[in-house]
């Protein structure tokens, strides 16, 4: 029998947003420059939207409810401490500027974007949790 987080992850996949559907079509099956992504990847108490485990990158898509959300800040910090970098996009960005979103993800994966940036909402990994 699946555990609670597995059941929750499956429910999230069944109820994904249009932006999540669109991004998943572009990054699944190694479609994005050969990098493998998974959906609803658990990290500690959190389930992330997308993750490239090979490059330790989490991609989060946010709706308006996430604006100025302190829980997201805490979540990002936790994920960073596990060794994963986090890039956040607004759902509208994915829907309106998919090529820019994909290029930003590739830049991170290829090591061209390494520094934290509030404009791109990129948060590189920090030290790992013991």
For residue range 102-122, what is the model confidence (pLDDT) as tens digits?
Answer: 999 999 999 999 999 888 899
Among 40, 18, 34, which residue's Cα sits nearest to residue 94? 18
Question: Does 4 score more than 90 pLDDT?
Answer: no
Instruction: Give the residue, 11 or 16, on which the prediction is more confident.
Output: 16
Q: Give the C-alpha separation, 87 to 130, whole Å.
A: 23
Q: Give the C-alpha separation, 127 to 54, whole Å.
A: 17
pLDDT value, residue 14? 55
Q: What is the pTM of this model?
A: 0.84
Q: Which domains does the chain have, with CATH numbers?
A: 4-123 (3.40.960.10)
pLDDT value, residue 8? 47
Q: Give the C-alpha separation, 58 to 41, whole Å.
A: 9
């Amino acid at each position: 029998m699946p555990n609670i987080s597995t059941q929750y992850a499956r429910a999230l996949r069944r109820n994904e947003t249009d932006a999540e559907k669109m991004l998943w079509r572009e990054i699944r099956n190694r479609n994005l420059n050969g990098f493998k992504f998974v959906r609803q990847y658990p990290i500690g108490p959190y389930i992330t939207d997308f993750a490239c485990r090979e490059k330790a990158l989490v991609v989060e898509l946010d709706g308006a409810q996430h604006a100025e959300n302190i829980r997201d800040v805490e979540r990002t910090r936790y994920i960073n401490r596990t060794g994963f970098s986090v890039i956040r996009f607004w759902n509208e960005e994915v829907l309106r500027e998919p090529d820019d979103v994909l290029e930003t993800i590739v830049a991170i994966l290829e090591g061209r974007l390494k520094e934290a940036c509030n404009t791109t909402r990129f948060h590189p990994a920090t030290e790992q949790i013991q």
